[in-house]
Structure 1
Amino acid sequence: MELGLHVADFTYPNGPENLAKDLGRIAVAAEDAGLAMLSVMDHVWQIGVVGPPEQEMLEAYTALGFLAGRTSRIKLLAWVTAVVYREPGLLAKAVTTLDVLSEGRAWLGIGAAWNEHESRGLGLPFPSTKERFERLEEALQICLQMWSDDEGPYEGTHYQLTRTLNSPQPLSRPHPPILIGGGGEKKTLRMVAQYAQACNLFPSPELPHKLDVLREHCATVGRDYDEIEKTVMMPLDPGAEGEKVDELLTRLRELADLGISHVHGIVPNMVSIRPIELLGELVVPEAAKFGN
């Protein structure tokens, strides 16, 4: 099992004028701790479960470019991109740029979007749920076409591209891995089976059922279920002095037994760096043994 760090909070004690230094230290600490992935949210306002909307929030792909310059090994992605916030051709170009400049470390994390409040606030598109899922599937198709040898047009219901030229192409082969967030059984998990290299679910009592649904979709579309990386988003809290490590390891073992291969989450008080170090010292070596 691998672990990853999700950065959802940019409100630090040293203030915005030192945000670049603090975020850079977090990124370096995550890489030095042996974490596999580093992500940011794709929001333009802070979300309610973290804090009020007025708190600091950075644009995702600008932030990821900054993080690419501060690291050399860790994988980078938005967890997850709101499909309607960027036209798919531009999104494919942004992920390609991140992949090239990070020397092959970019992933595309993507979902149907949910935060109507921030979308209306800044004038971003936020169509109906049905349309957002239609646009999600078309965006996946466009990205995969742009990451192929096919420069031809794309004609969809919502998007029309006259030439899907993408130069340079990503360094990741055959393309940056795609992670689709969400557990919707009819649409989201079917798209995971059809298009993605990874899914992201939550560690709820429904998790075994969601995995069974994904397995069924894989059988329907002729995809090997084991090819898909199963990820879970949850808090990663080793405790201020490692007092919660045993509890965390027990939960990680339970998830590994279900076939989860990557757990991704927020580390409390990460700007102090010490909790990230504890995660690397005490949890990462043990988690790497799961499933072996």
Structure 2
Amino acid sequence: MRTSPPLRIAGIYVLVAAVWIWCSDRVVGLLVSDADLRMELQTLKGWFFVLVTGAMLFWMIRHDVRRLERSNRRLRAGREQALRVLVAAMDVRHQETGHHSERVARMAAELARLDGVQGRVLDELRLGALLHDIGKLALPDTILTKPGPLDEEERALMRQHPRIGHELLQQVDFLRGSSDVPYSHHERWDGGGYPQGLRGEEIPLAARIFSVIDVWDALITERVYKPAWPEDRVLDYLREVAGSQLDPRLVGLFLDNYATLKRLAATPDVVPAISPQPVA
């Protein structure tokens, strides 16, 4: 059985301390007969022991912490890779263009970074953007891939996917903080969105950031229910809905950094594309 790092460090410390005390006491006793000098030497060797073992403990603990950090990074990378594969498969099922979820996650993370979002909050936003449509897994293909407009009953069912996505992510410990985007990316700045009808800054920042990217991507790419819009028309539309559908400040930030964000849209995906063709 492999020894845990704290137990191993404690065992090594006790062993070194016992060997040092036993050996150093005998050496001092053999070489020094004067009691006062022997006391001074005992004090000096005590301080020497503290300094040396302190340095040793620092090195051992730092070594183990770095090893644990590497293991944690590998674990996070593995989980994220599994999520990306799931999302890529979902995009294929939904007939989305060019790995839609990966693309909008990259762009949303960059727009968030430009807005000053950092650290764990940025990581949660990126994962939430990647999984923004996870709730659609519960919807039938007849709705997801319908080439024409949805009828009233179909629209009502489609509007359930943010709530379903939120409930799914709440069941996974490391994804709970990422549920703002799946839950609220269809809310509107003017309060006319769904599922909660939030208004303005009541809408979580992560969802407001993502909504700008999602609207741009939905318009500029071809979908089963519509052709792609010309770029100029898309940008004009964003300006028109700033303050009604979208946060006007974030639309301005998007337009000010459009060239940078547009380049990210064309960045090759990290995970290889999943082919919709059956394997022979």
Flag whether TM exceeds 0.5 (same fold).
Answer: no
Bigger radius of gyration, 1 or 2? 2
Structure number having the greater helix percentage:
2
Alignment TM-score, normalising by the size of structure 2: 0.30
Structure number having the greater strand percentage:
1
Alignment TM-score, normalising by the size of structure 1: 0.29
